[in-house]
């Protein structure tokens, strides 16, 4: 009886170690597969993001190509700081629906207004 017990222990302990090793290897392989799959998805997302950025950059450049030699940042005549006083468009498209086109206000008060939405700008 004692011999059978020791023989059982001698067989069960290495078998348990081998099973634990195989479980650990399977767990590692599954984690490596998931990482590979996520990396592949990340590459697709990065490619789409780069394409969107390039498309937006081209749209911004096309928006500014109107034949004007822009003078951004001068703020002459009551225009906003990032608006060109020659053509009235801003360097960056503003947030919101309106792509402002600024025009100088008539009258004694220095300022400008958007001809599309009517928004007012008063320099301080």
Give the total number of structural domains in the chain. Answer: 2
Whether residues 2 and 50 share a domain: the answer is: yes
104 versus 47: the higher-pLDDT residue is 47
pLDDT in the model for residue 40: 98
Are 115 and 55 contained in the same domain?
A: no
pLDDT band for 13, please (50, 70, 90 cuts).
Answer: very high
**What tokens appear for 62 in the block?**
């096309």
From the list 42, 50, 112, 117, the residue with the least C-alpha distance to 84 is: 112
In terms of domains, do 34 and 92 share one? no
pTM of the predicted model, to two decimals? 0.55
Query: Where in the sequence is the domain holding 54, given as residue range(s)?
Result: 1-65
DSSP the chain: -HHHHHHHHHHHHHHHHHHHHHHHHHHHHHHHHHHHHHHHHHHHHHHHHHHHHHHHHHHHHHHH-SS----TT--GGG--TTB-TTT-BBSSPPSSS---BEEEPPSSS--EEETTT--EE---
118 with 105, same domain: the answer is yes
pLDDT tens sequence across 26-59: 999 999 999 999 999 999 999 999 999 999 999 8
**Per-residue pLDDT tens over the stretch 47-98:** 999 999 999 999 888 888 888 888 887 666 788 888 888 888 888 888 888 8
Distance separating alpha carbons of residues 20 and 30, to the nearest angstrom: 15
Whole-angstrom distance, CA of residue 23 vs CA of residue 35: 18
């Amino acid at each position: 009886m004692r011999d059978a017990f020791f023989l059982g222990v001698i067989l069960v302990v290495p078998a348990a170690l081998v099973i634990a090793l195989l479980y650990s290897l399977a767990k590692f392989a599954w984690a490596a597969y998931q990482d590979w799959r996520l990396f592949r998805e990340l590459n697709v997302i990065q490619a789409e993001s780069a394409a969107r950025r390039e498309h937006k950059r081209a749209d911004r450049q096309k928006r500014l190509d109107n034949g004007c030699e822009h003078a951004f940042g001068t703020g002459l005549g009551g225009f906003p700081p990032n608006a060109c006083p020659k053509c009235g468009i801003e360097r960056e498209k503003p947030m919101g629906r309106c792509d402002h086109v600024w025009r100088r206000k008539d009258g004694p008060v220095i300022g400008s207004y958007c001809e599309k939405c009517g928004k007012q700008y008063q320099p301080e």
